[in-house]
Structure 1
Amino acid sequence: MKRTAGVVRTVVALCLLAGLGLSASGCAEEPKPSVSVLGPWTGDEEESFEKVLDEFRKKGVDVDYQGTTSLRETLLAQVQAGSPPDIAVLNSVGELTEYAHDGELIPLPEAIRERSPAPWAPELTVDGRKNTYWTPVKVDLKSVVWHYPGKAAGKGAWCLGMGSGATSGWPGTDWIEDILLQRSGHAKYEQWVTGEISWESKEVRDAWETWGRIITADGGRAGAAAALRNGFEGNDGKGLLKRKGECVREHQGSFARRLYGDDVRFTPSAEAVGELGKGNGRGAYEVAGDMAAMFRDSGAARELLTFLTGEAARASWAGNVAERNRPFFPVSVGPYGDAWANRAVDRALTGARRLCLDASDVMPAGVRGAFYRAVLEFLTAPGDVKLLDGLLDQLEYEATRQRERGAGRVPSVCAAPAGGG
C-alpha cells in the first residue's frame, strides 16, 4: 500500500540521519506487510468475512477491509484518484472487463488461475496477451424457484420485489435472462450477452413477453405493481415468501436461503415454470459470483488471494456463520455442512450441462443500468406492445453506443462445470 511505502521511506531516512537517538533495533524493524480490500459485504456478512481475514492475519499481514453498498461508485472514485485498493471484490464482470482493458488490473499468478473455474473467470485478451484477471471467492446458483415443502412449485402467485437502491430492477433482469436461457438455449444466450444478436431479436423479445405473461397469470396486474413497491428481500428484510397468503413461490438466487433457512426448497426453474420446461432438457443454469481482482500488485495481495481461494479460508468462512448463512464456493472446492441447500446447490452446480454467467453482470455498466431501468418501466404495463418496442429500441441503442466506444466484452459466458456436466 502507499502508506506502507511511506513508512519504509521514513524509517530509512531517519536511520541515515546521525544524532537522532534511534536504536539499532529500531532501524532494523520493518513494517508489517499490509493489504487493502474493498468489497460488497456489510453487516453480518462483513462480520463473517472479517473472521476469515483474522485467520489470514495470523500470518503476520495486516488487512484493511472496507465494505460498502456503493461499491461501483466507491471503486471508480478511488481508481480515478489514483489510489485503488490492492484487491476489490465485485460481482460485475462487465466492470472488471473494462478495468482490465484500461490497464487497471493485474493478471493473476498461475497458482490462482488454476483455482479459477469457468465460467466465472474467463480469459481476456488485453494488448495481445491472454490472461485471467479475477477469481471467484463466492458463487450463487440462479435459475431456481424457492417454495415451502408441500407447496406446488408450479402453481400460485409469484413473490416479486424489484427494490434494491441504486440497482433496483435486477431481480427482473434475472427473470428475463433465465427465460431466454431456458427457452432459446445457451448458444443464443451467449450471443445476446456478447452483443452478437440484437435486443430487438425474436429471442430477446420472446423472453420479455413470456415474463409478462408469467407474472400476470397469477395475481394479474396487481402482482406486477406490487413488485415496484417491494424490496427484493421484502420491505422488512425477512424475505417475500414469509408474507403468508400473498405469494407462494419466488424466482431468486441461492443466496435467498439465508432469509428462510432450511425450511424452504428450490426447484430448477425449467421444471417449476411450465412455459420454460416444455421439451427443454438442456440442463443450463444461470450463475453469479463475487470476484476478487488485484488493482495493485504486492506479495501480500497475492498471498491473500491464494488464501481466499483455498480450502482453509472456505472452511473457515462456512464454519463461522449460522447454517443458513453459509456461502457457496466454486464447484471445484465442494460443499460445506450438512444442510439440504448446501447439498442440493452443489449437486445442481456439478451436475449441470452448462453454467452461464448472469447476463447483466457481464454487460457494460451503461447497458446494465439501462436494463434495470427498462425492467421497472416494463412492470408499469407488462402487456403494452408499444412500450416494449420502445424499451428494446432504447436498449439496443445503448448497447450499440457502448460497442462504438470500445467497451470491452468477455469472449464467452457459458461453460460446462469443472468435474461435472
Structure 2
Amino acid sequence: GAGDSWVDLGTYTDKDGNDALFGFFYNVNVKSLVWFVPENFEDAGYEVPDTMEELKALTEEIVADGETPWCIGLGSGAATGWPATDWVEDMMLRTQPADVYDQWTRNEIPFDDPRVVGAIEEFGWFARDDAKVAGGAGAVASTDFRDSPKGLFSSPPQCYLHRQASFVPAFFPDGVEFGTDVDFFYLPAYAGKDLGNPVLGGGTLMAITTPSDATTELMNFFQLPIAHEVMMAQTGFLTPHKGVNPAAYKDDTLRGQGEILVNASTFRFDGSDLMPGAVGAGTFWTGMVDYAGGKDAKAVAGEIQKSWDALK
C-alpha cells in the first residue's frame, strides 16, 4: 500500500549526488485512528463515518443530542502538546497534497503559510469548542493524553470519539476487549478534496551500514511475505506489504490496522519528528498548547516560524 511513499521515505542522496534507496521499512505504526465504543454507538444510533464530511456531521449530531463527541488531551509532562501536532499533521494530509506536507516539514513553505494555518484551524474545529470536547475547550491542554480516552468507557460516556495512534489501548481500563468493548476506524479524508486515503504514522527502516553478502541476503529476506508474517503473529507489528496473508496477524486489532496501511494511497512520517528538535519537539508542542488555550492560529504559527528561522 502507498508504495511510492515508502520508496520516497527511504531514499536519500548518495556521495555522488544521486538519489538511492538506503532504507527499507519493516514494521510500521498507524496514527490516523479514531477509537469508539460500539455499544455506545449502537445505543445512540450513530454510524461509523466514511468521510471527513460525515465525521464532522456526526460530531455536530452528537452535540445536538446533548452529548459530548470528543475526548482530547494534550498533557504529557515535558512533552505536553505533542498529541495536537499529530492532529495537525493528519489535517495537513487531508486538506493539502502530500508534496505540500513535505514542503512544510522541510520548511520550504513557512509555518504560517495559510495552508498550514488552515490545518491548525481544522484541529481547532474539534478542540476549541466547549460543546465538542469533554471538560470544555479549556481542559484540552491540561488533560493528560493517557487519561483522555477513559471518558469513552465511563457510564454514561463522557465522550464518543478519541483520535489517537495504535498504541493507545495501553491506556484503556483493564479488561477492555477489542471488537466488543472498543473498536476503531480510519480517520477519514474529505470526499470533496480528492486526496485519496492518506495515513500518518511512524516506523522502522532497515539499512545496510556495512555491506556484505549476508546483509544483502537479509535485506532480500525482509522483502518476502514470510518475513512479515512471522512477526505479524507477534504483538505490535504492522506491515503495508500487499503480499502477506492478513490472517497471520495475532488479533483483529492488528489486522484492522494492517488493512488501513494496505489501503492507504499515501503514507507520511510523523511531521514533527522530521523537523528540527527545537521546533518539532519544542515550539510546535508549546504553540499547540497556546492555540488550544485560545491564541490565534496565525500568530502561533508565526512564532513557530521565528523559532525555525533562528536555527538557520
Give TM-score, length-normalised by structure 2: 0.72
Q: Say if 1:262 and 1:339, in contact at 8 Å, map to a contact too.
A: no
Task: Specify the code of the residue in structure 1 equivalent to 2:9.
Answer: A
Residue aligning to 1:266: 184
Question: Max radius of gyration: which structure?
Answer: 1
Offset at residue 139 of structure 1 (A): 0.9
- What is the aligned-residue identity percentage? 23
Offset at residue 184 of structure 1 (A): 2.6
1:258-297 correspondence runs (5 A): 259=172, 261-263=178-180, 264-270=182-188, 277=190, 279-292=192-205, 297=210
Structure 2 residue corresponding to 1:211, chosen from 123, 136, 142: 123
Q: Say if 1:179 and 1:211, in contact at 8 Å, map to a contact too.
A: yes
Task: Specify the code of the residue in structure 2 equivalent to 1:134.
Answer: G
Match status 1:360 vs 2:263:
no
Q: Measure the CA separation in 2 of the matches of 1:131 and 1:198.
A: 28
Offset at residue 149 of structure 1 (A): 1.6
Q: Measure the CA separation in 2 of the matches of 1:232 and 1:398.
A: 26
* Deviation per residue, 1:131-157 (Å, 9 max, x gap): 344333321223332212252352342
1:166-181 correspondence runs (5 A): 166-181=78-93
Task: Specify the code of the residue in structure 1 equivalent to 2:237.
Answer: P
Stretches of structure 2 lacking an aligned partner (at least 5 in a row): 49-57, 60-67
Offset at residue 304 of structure 1 (A): 11
Q: Measure the CA separation in 2 of the matches of 1:132 and 1:278.
A: 33
Query: Helix, strand or coil for the counterpart of 2:300?
Result: helix
Residue aligning to 1:328: 238
Distance change in 2, residues 1:226/1:135 (3 Å): farther
Residue aligning to 1:103: none
Q: Measure the CA separation in 2 of the matches of 1:301 and 1:164.
A: 42
Match status 1:392 vs 2:280:
no
Give TM-score, length-normalised by structure 1: 0.55
Q: Say if 2:126 and 2:132, in contact at 8 Å, map to a contact too.
A: no
Stretches of structure 1 lacking an aligned partner (at least 5 in a row): 1-114, 272-276, 405-421
* Deviation per residue, 1:311-353 (Å, 9 max, x gap): 55544443344xxxx4212334533337443443333222232
Residue aligning to 1:125: 13
Query: Helix, strand or coil for the counterpart of 1:195?
Result: coil
Distance change in 2, residues 1:400/1:221 (3 Å): farther
Distance change in 2, residues 1:344/1:283 (3 Å): farther
Query: Helix, strand or coil for the counterpart of 2:85?
Result: helix
Task: Specify the code of the residue in structure 2 equivalent to 1:143.
Answer: S
Offset at residue 310 of structure 1 (A): 5.8
Q: Say if 1:160 and 1:240, in contact at 8 Å, map to a contact too.
A: no
Residue aligning to 2:29: 140
Q: Say if 2:11 and 2:23, in contact at 8 Å, map to a contact too.
A: no
Match status 1:188 vs 2:97:
no
